[in-house]
Homo-oligomer: A and B are copies of this chain.
């Protein structure tokens, strides 16, 4: 399915400037997330320049979503990402049977519980936002009425 010519050895790694531009964030933010251990760029050039992969970018996207959309702080985001990373690790082990089945099952159940907890928070926020929008719509309708009556 892949191209008949050889894949490039570097699967398009980006400098911090390009990475920040694509993500719509700042270079400073990327360095700060790294300082807190939330992301580590896939590589560095011998000169010390950070190189970001597509997976790195997606991870940062996730951080931004949790921050802007949900309002979590970076400490909370760290623990959410830890949970997701742990789940990924367990999935890898499902293939290379190194952990026993009960333990794996336990880990997945734990992750699931945390996911459901997160989903509940999102639902709550959704409900509040919908009420806010409905209220705005009602206000706008009243104002349109005022304008119509003034004719």
Contact = CB atoms under 8 A, between A and B. Distances in A.
A71 B69 CA distance: 8
29 contacts: A65-B128, A65-B132, A68-B71, A69-B125, A69-B128, A69-B129, A71-B71, A87-B143, A94-B146, A104-B150, A105-B147, A108-B146, A109-B147, A111-B143, A112-B140, A112-B143, A112-B147, A115-B139, A115-B143, A119-B136, A119-B137, A119-B140, A122-B129, A122-B132, A122-B133, A123-B133, A125-B129, A126-B129, A129-B129
A112 B147 CA distance: 10
Interface of A: 65, 68-71, 87, 94, 101, 104-105, 108-109, 111-112, 115-116, 118-119, 122-123, 125-126, 128-130, 132-133, 136-137, 139-140, 143-144, 146-147, 150
How many copies make up the complex? 2
Contact of A116 (B94, B112, B116, B140): B140
Contacts of A116: 140
A29 to B, nearest CB: 16
